[in-house]
Structure formats: C-alpha cells, structure tokens
Structure 1
Amino acid sequence: MTLFWIVTIAVLAILAVLAIAIARQPDSFRVARSTVIDAPPETVFAILNNIRRGIDWSPFERSDPNMTRLFAGPDKGVGATLAWDGNRQCGTGSIRIVESIPHSHIALALEMSRPMKASNRVTFTLEPSPQGTRLTWAMEGPMNVAGKAFSLVCNSEKMVGGMFETGLAELKKLAEWEAPRAA
C-alpha cells in the first residue's frame, strides 16, 4: 500500500469519526441562569421591557464600544427592536420583543447573521420571591450542523452562561439601585 492510500484512508477515518460526533450532538440547546434581585418584579420588568435599557446592563451591549445600533418600533413592549452591527465578538443581528406579560415574562426573537446565522428565543421569567424577584434569563434554539460542529470545540453553555451571569449581576445592581426610587 502506498503512502498516498494510507494518508487517504486515515483522513477519511478522521472525517467519519468527526461526522459521527457532529451527528450525535443535540438538535437544540438551552442555556439559562437565575438570580434573586432585591427589588419588586415591577422594577425589574420595567428595565427589561425597554429595549433601549439594555445598554445599562447587558454585557452583549458592552462587547464593542463602536457598535452601531438601530432602534425600531416602540421603546417598550412587543415590537420594540434593536438591530446592531459590531466587531467579531458581538457580530451582526437583531433582537425584538415578541411577548411582554407585565411583571412576569418577556420573550425576544434573536436573529444573528454574523459571526454565524442563528435564530434563537430569549426569555426573561420574573417570579416574586420573599427577597424581591427571582429572575431567570434563558436562550434556546435549534442546532444546525455548523452549530453542532462549533459545540465540539467551544462550550456554549460556559461562554453564554458566563455572559448571562455577568448581565444578571449588572441588572441586579441597577434594579436594586432603582427600586427605592420607584417606591
């Protein structure tokens, strides 16, 4: 057997193992993080329901100081939209509020076109707690072949989860600062 055939067979075997590993990845993903905020749900909801307030707390907003933003629709509630174009870290995409249930739930449609195409659902669930508000920030969506391959080399749970934790900490500070003023 010549060296050419040995290398060809080895490359095909590696590609087959890689294809199997990609195919075995889940067809969808979900990342979620929660925190308790010492503020009433009304205060937390008011911040989250205003698409323009993301710049006050979201780590995604802070990933590129030169990011261009375009707001459309109302500032608050269903239809409020933010489109952005930024560096490699924040990419290009848009987010639009698609559900807004006062003081309990907000859902957003996230559309990314760069660094890779993705359509995901982002939710904020607010629950009253003895300490104020239990807030859960989640993102879920389908995993296409590119997403499955990406998940083999990058842990999205840690990467996105870490950003959620940072954002929740910033949101907690902001809401707890604003809560006494809203009362």
Structure 2
Amino acid sequence: MKQILMIGGLALLAATALLLAYASTRPDEFRVERKLRIAASSDKLWPLIGELRAFNRWNPYERKDPAIKGRYSGAATGPGSRYEWESDKVGVGSLEITGQQPGQAVQMRLDFVKPFEAHNQAEFRLVPQGDGSTDVIWSMQGPANLISKVMGVFINMDKMVGRDFEDGLVNLQHIAKE
C-alpha cells in the first residue's frame, strides 16, 4: 500500500511539473478583441462609449448581475472618470478612463480585485465606414502571470471573454437603434 501511495504521489508530482513547464511556455501577455459593424454613425455611438454611465447601459458584465453595487467618481467624462463595482457574480474591481480621442477611441484601465487580481488595458475604437455604419472594436490586453497561464491550459480566455465582448457589442447595437 505504501508503495502504491508513493508511486501515485510521484506521478502527481511529475504531472504537476509537466503542467507548470508547459504553462510557462505560453505567452506572457494576452489579448482579446472583437468587432461588430453597427448601422450608426460614430457620432451617435461615441456618447455610449466615451462616458462610463452610458457604457454601463450596455456593458455585458453589468447586465450579468442586477444587484451589482457600483460607484462613480472622478471626472464625469474623459480621463479620470472612474467606476468601481462589487458583485457576487462578476467580482470586485474598477474601470478608469485613461485616454480619449473623441469620436474615435477610448482607453481604460481595468483592475480586478476578486475573484483574482488582474490589471489590464481595454480600448474601444470607432472606425466609420462609407455607408454610414461604424466598426466598433473592443479589445483588452494584459500580462499573463503563471496562474493565468495554467488556467489558460484548461480555459480558453479568448472564447470566454470574447463571448462577453460579442454580447456587449450586440447590446450596444440595440441601444444605438433607440
């Protein structure tokens, strides 16, 4: 029995070492990006993206938890505009506008505290099209530490977060029709 436990323990140790070795070869940064062409001008879409209160009308993470506790601070719009949230479903964190090119792009710092700590950058870009529609591009990128690399072996972050981005862009599309 003792020998079986020792062999099992060594096998578990070897599997863990192989997992860590494989995970350490994964990229040190991640990037998720989704795009949707919306039948609206960039002028119509900009207020829904460039201001956090309007953004939260279509933000898929806000919609996941109607009981979310959020608080706005800083500037009403533009760099320094900040939103903090606490939720049992989407965790605890904050979002701050760090840069804007009105009508074209907004950059945000996204900090998660729970369920795990992460510090990422998000960006929305608006690319007007000749037919009056606009390509809206939502991206997020950040560092991938060893824990996130190990998680990435089992969970496809691009698919998981990408689905949320796709849902959010569809929500934006619906609001833009109002």
Q: Under a length normalisation based on structure 1, what TM-score does the superposition of the two structures give?
A: 0.91
Report how far residue 58 of structure 1 moved. Answer: 1.0
**Cα RMSD (Å):** 1.3
Whole-angstrom distance in 2 between the partners of 1:34 and 1:58: 15
Pairing of 1:91-102 with structure 2 (within 5 A) = 91-102=91-102
Look up the match of 1:3.
Answer: 4
Contact 1:95 1:111 in 2 (8 A): yes
Q: Which digits, 9 at most, give the CA deviation of each residue in 1:36-71, with x for residues without a partner?
A: 111111111111111011231111111111111010
**Matched length:** 176
Contact 1:54 1:61 in 2 (8 A): no
Pairing of 1:90-129 with structure 2 (within 5 A) = 90-129=90-129
Q: Counterpart amino acid of 2:43?
A: E
Contact 1:84 1:92 in 2 (8 A): yes
Report how far residue 163 of structure 1 moved. Answer: 0.5
What runs of 5+ residues in structure 1 fail to find an aligned partner?
Answer: 178-183
Whole-angstrom distance in 2 between the partners of 1:153 and 1:4: 27
Whole-angstrom distance in 2 between the partners of 1:83 and 1:2: 54
Q: Percent identity?
A: 31
What runs of 5+ residues in structure 2 fail to find an aligned partner?
Answer: none
Look up the match of 2:162.
Answer: 161
SS of match in other structure, 1:130? coil
Whole-angstrom distance in 1 between the partners of 2:172 and 2:4: 60
